[in-house]
Structure 1
Amino acid sequence: MDLNGKHALITGGGTGIGLAIAKALAEAGAEVTITGRRKEVLEKVAGGRIHALAMDVADEASVVEGFASAVAARGQIAICVANAGIAEGKALHKMDMAFWRKVIGINLDGAYLTMREAMKSMTGLEYGRVIAIASIAGIKGLRGAPAYTASKHGMIGLVRGLSEDYMGTPITFNAICPGYVDTAIVSENTVSIAARAGITEEQALKMMVQTNRHQRLITPEEVAHTAMYLCDPNSGSINGQTMEIAGGQM
């Protein structure tokens, strides 16, 4: 795949899935802008075709300014990956409005703002790819995490709606829905699940691993491979779809 001359922007691109996708796109020749709240994290992995840009997807002004800066520096955005998000679980009766808004604000509102600003740049291009990194929680309910589940269902709804709005154009919208991926988020959740459930961290990790049908954590590179497939110019007929990466049928 030759992506020379194409500008890609990935939110939450400094670690985990976002970084794996950034590396794959850069290797294919794209100029890649990676964003996140912590510039120092981004700058550690930037270099070559990967460029760091501090941006907070939960802050509308930050997203508007961030996209304008990226476009000014590297041209129209042809590939947009809405990857930034948080994975925090809390039972319904233990949630307050602040927790609900935090999860929805980052995961769903952040995806909306990211795609909205990307489309301002993409309109008129002969090739465009918008990819949301959702979750298997967007396909089914995730026990103990109703806010997270709702946010990921919302992301998939957003993708499907936009795919209809832009049907017949060169721009496609799809969602990747991984199970548990071997990233820092899983490490953090191992600690929080163990504390909430009164079990060991080893037992908490085993619970997550067993959710993946093939009984192992998914690698960020496996998710990146799927993203690259969707970015292929020959994948233009895949639109408004969910790509599940869970080691087996859900």
Structure 2
Amino acid sequence: MTISLTHALVTGGATGIGKAAALALAEAGVEVTICGRRKEPLEAVAALHTRLHVVTADVTDEASVEALYRQAEAARGPIEIVVANAGIASSAPAHRTALADWSRIIDVNLTGAFLTVRPALAGMAERRRGRIIFVASVAGLRGAAYVAPYVASKHGVVGLMRALSVELLKTGVTVNAVCPGYVETEMLEESIARVMEKTGRDRETARRGFAESNPNHRLIQPEEVAAAVVWLASDAAVSVTGQPIAISGGG
């Protein structure tokens, strides 16, 4: 698959979908800047491929993201692909959700996604080339119980994607979102641990519950989501924009 664009940014690149997407883009010939708040896990991923490069940043901090762009672009040229992947989740009934928990999830998942892509927009539009790819969730397409802040944040990401796709429609820049179901990642392991703690279920039973929540009753692998990211970044997807692409094992 041909990707003419040469420099990508992947946030949350140390684990899960971000790690898989960064490696897949690097294998496709793209120089990839991976970012996160902790340097050591990022460096462990970067050691897996010569086209992976580490810059630490906090996606909720405007100045930190702007510094990330300056450092990455000074080293490897304009960022032409942005994969806004960094995200967090927690679970609780809505009436027990503290404002601080709500704000934390919205800050990372939605405001962080906006801050991640904003520095790239003007340059992409001026060059008339670029790809914005949000990692959202099927929770951005439908409701789910006990995760109100997460659902709200991911609906917001899908809405942001749709707005930007219209705004950039005539520039040659595409804007899309991948919307996975339950993916076998470190974040899912944290969810499994919470279920075990709250319900007393063993790990396998808790894990099976998440798998069975996907229509095909299996957990999605990060590499499956990464494959969609690579396709959206490729020359083959030049006419695909404004699309929330579900990777969920069924409707």
Q: Contact conserved, 2:125 with 2:168, CA < 8 A, in 1?
A: no
1:180 to 182, 201, 214: 182
Q: How far apart in 2 are the matches of 1:36 and 1:204?
A: 29
Runs of 4+ in structure 1 over 4 Å off: none
The whole-number CA distance in structure 2 between the counterparts of 1:86 and 1:164 is 27
The structural deviation recorded for 1:4 is 6.1
Letter of the 2:210 partner, please give it: M
Match of 1:147 in 2: 149
Which position in structure 2 is the counterpart of 1:216?
218
* SS of the residue 2:127 aligns to: coil
3-state SS, counterpart of residue 53 of structure 1: strand
Q: Which moved more, 1:167-176 or 1:191-200?
A: 191-200
Q: Does 1:54 align with 2:52?
A: no
Q: Distance in 1 between matches of 2:127 and 2:14?
A: 27
- Unaligned runs of 5+ residues in structure 2 are none
Instruction: Confirm or deny: 8 A CA contact 1:20 1:221 kept in the other structure.
Output: yes
> Within the alignment, does 1:124 sit opposite 2:126 as a pair?
yes
Structure 2 CA distance for partners of 1:4 and 1:240, relative to 1, 3 Å = closer
User: Which residue matches 1:72?
Assistant: 74
Match of 1:159 in 2: 161
Bigger drift between 18-27 and 198-207 goes to: 198-207
- Asked whether 1:24 is paired with 2:24, we answer yes
Greater mean deviation of Cα atoms: 45-54 or 102-111: 45-54
Q: How many residues align?
A: 249
Query: Offset at 1:198?
Result: 4.2
Q: Distance in 1 between matches of 2:16 and 2:79?
A: 22
2:217 aligned with 1:242, yes or no?
no
Structure 1 length-normalised TM: 0.96
1:13 aligns with 2:13: yes
| Kept in 2: contact 1:78–1:125 (CA 8 A) | no
Root-mean-square deviation (Å)? 1.3
Is 191-200 or 84-93 further displaced after alignment?
A: 191-200
Q: Which residue of 2 aligns with 1:168?
A: 170
CA contact (8 A) 1:4 1:28 kept: no
* Partner AA of 1:245 in structure 2: I
Larger RCO, structures 1/2 (Cα 8 Å, 6+ apart): 2
